[in-house]
Every structure is written in structure tokens, then in C-alpha cells.
Amino acid sequence: MLKVNQLDKTYGQDKHSLKSVSFTAQPGEVTAIIGPSGAGKTTILRSVNQLIRDDGGQILLDDQDIRQANKAELRKIRHHIGMIFQNYNLISPLTALENVLHGRLGAKSTLAGMFGLYSTAEKTEALALLAEVGLKDYAYQRCDQLSGGQQQRVGIARALMQHPKMILCDEPIASLDPKSTKIVMDILRKLAREKKLIILINLHQIDIAMSYADHIIGINDGAIVFEGPTAQVNDAVLQKIYRQATEQKAKVAANEA
Ligand SMILES: Nc1ncnc2c1ncn2[C@@H]1O[C@H](COP(=O)(O)OP(=O)(O)OP(=O)(O)O)[C@@H](O)[C@H]1O
Ligand SMILES: [Mg+2]
């Protein structure tokens, strides 16, 4: 389980981006973080694997506080946290298979990693993961010749190559059409269910969050304003989560009138 307690993050002197943020995300479930632009969704995800240093709080992954880990421990913990990005973050001249194999880098010695030395077992596993995300026939295709949806699926296979406990996804479908969105979200939900992974996803699309998430975290201006099962999200909850955006739009509209 991921348990975040009273996480704080201030950028510079006065930009309070996370205000005592607490929430949990369970294995086997899809947890979606929703909220207006600038609310702090990306800051939460980047704090969870300590890509940015927060200012206080606790981040417990299976009872180990990631914030207290030393460099070597953090490297180990990070190796079991997959990341999925809006822009896929693949190495484009390389093939799908090579990109998936990159998921093993964190587990290898620097030298073996540098020379791209992968075992037959690792290659077999990478091919199986590509098949699992429906890309069996694309293993040897360059990534820049794949569609966005296909590239995102390579990203998922790469994350799985890390044998993750948890996958963090920052707007994974923001650049995808509805058909690819469905394919990618179906895969993420299936991974949560079948591999008992913690899937934590930042989403802008409320409808997708409502149809795929088991658990919803609503953030507004750096503070959690809702946490609970998706079934409890109603219009009043959504208004609370998106309050600032609505008020700002009203102000802009009033100024333009
Ligand atoms: N490196 C930074 N330096 C200063 N302020 C930052 C930095 N990164 C983020 N912020 C601020 O922190 C707040 C939260 O940003 P964050 O990127 O987490 O929002 P978000 O919810 O992911 O937004 P979006 O939906 O647009 O991706 C914003 O006000 C943003 O301007
Ligand atoms: Mg963001």
C-alpha cells in the first residue's frame, strides 16, 4: 500500500504547492488524482518517487518511508516504481524491444547497462511483455514509427520490465484519441487487478477517472478536498474539486463582458 501523510511542498519562498497532503492508494486498485491545472497533481507524483524533494511529511510504500531512504535504498525503491508520462519518454531511434529492455537498467551494473548487455531471459521477458500489451508484431519497429497509443503501450511494457509494485502515470492519455485511450486504460486497470499493482494516475478527463478509477483523490490549490471510492463522487464533490477553476473562469468572463 502507498500511504502519504501530511506531505508539504513549497517552491521558492511562498509558492505553497502541497498543503499537508494525505491519501492512500491500494494494490489491485486504480487510484486517480483529479483537479484543476496547477492544483499539484504532478508535484504529488514527482514527490512520491522523490524526483523532487518535498519539505515534510511521510511517504510510506509497504511501510518503508521513501523520504528517509538513503541514496542506495532510494535507487532500489525507485527500481520498483514504474513511471508513465504524457509524452511517453521513449528513446526514439531505438526499437520497441530495446526501449522495454531499458526498464531493466536500474537492476544492472553500470557497465552492463552502458553496453546494453541483456540476457536471453530478459529479451524473452521483454517480448512477452510487448505481447501482453498487444504489440507482439512491433518489437523490432523503431519507436518513432509507432502511433502515440502504441508508444504509450511500449512505455507500460518498459515499466513492467522493472517488476514494479507501483506505476505512477502523469496524464498518460492526454495525447491519445478515444480508441487508444480505451486500450491504454484497459491495460492499466487489468495490471492493477491481475498483478495487484498500485496504479496511481493523474487525469484531466473526469469521465475517464469515473469509469476506470476505484478510488479518487481530488486536489484543489495544493490541498486534498476529497478522497474516497469513485461511487461517492457526485456533482457537489466535483464542484468542490474544480472550484477554483470555475471561479477563475467566472472572473475572466466577468472581465471580458
Ligand atoms: N519547478 C517549479 N517551480 C516553481 N513552481 C512550480 C514548479 N513546478 C510546479 N510549480 C507550481 O506548483 C503548482 C502545482 O503544479 P503542478 O505541476 O503539480 O500542477 P498540476 O496539477 O500537475 O497541473 P497540470 O494539470 O497543469 O499538469 C503550480 O502552481 C505550479 O506553478
Ligand atoms: Mg501536471
**Cβ(38) to ligand 1 under 6 A?**
yes
Q: How far apart are CA 123 and CA 239, in angstroms?
A: 48
Question: Computed from CA positions of residues 194, 51, 217, 59, in that sequence, does the dihedral angle turn out positive or negative?
Answer: positive
What's the total number of domains in the chain?
2
Provide the pLDDT for residue 253. Answer: 64
> Where does a domain end: 144, 163, 182?
163
Nearest residue (by CA) to ligand 1, atom 5, is: 11
Cell reading at 133: 500489451
Output the domain CATH number for residue 25.
3.40.50.300
Whether residue 91 is found in the same domain as residue 56 = no
Q: Which residue is closest in CA terms to ligand 1's atom 29? A: 38
User: Degrees (nearest 5) of the Cα angle 114, 170, 139?
Assistant: 45
Q: What pLDDT does residue 250 have?
A: 62
Residue 238 shares a structural domain with residue 221: yes
Q: What is the pLDDT of residue 12?
A: 84
Residue 9 belongs to domain spanning: 1-80+166-257
Ligand 2 center to 99 CA (angstroms): 24
Q: List, for residues 35-59, the tens digit of each pLDDT value.
A: 999 999 999 999 999 999 989 999 9
Q: What is the DSSP string of 226-249?
A: EEEEGGG--HHHHHHHTHHHHHHH
Atom of ligand 1 nearest to the CA of 15: 5
Q: What is the pLDDT of residues 175-191, one digit of tens each?
A: 999 999 999 999 999 99
pLDDT for residue 32: 98
pLDDT < 50 positions in the chain = none
C-alpha span between 23 and 42 (Å, rounded): 15
Same domain (yes/no): 11, 63: yes
Whose alpha carbon is nearest atom 9 of ligand 1?
Answer: 43
Instruction: Give helix 178-195 / helix 148-160 axis angle, nearest 10°.
Output: 10
Q: pTM of the entire structure?
A: 0.92
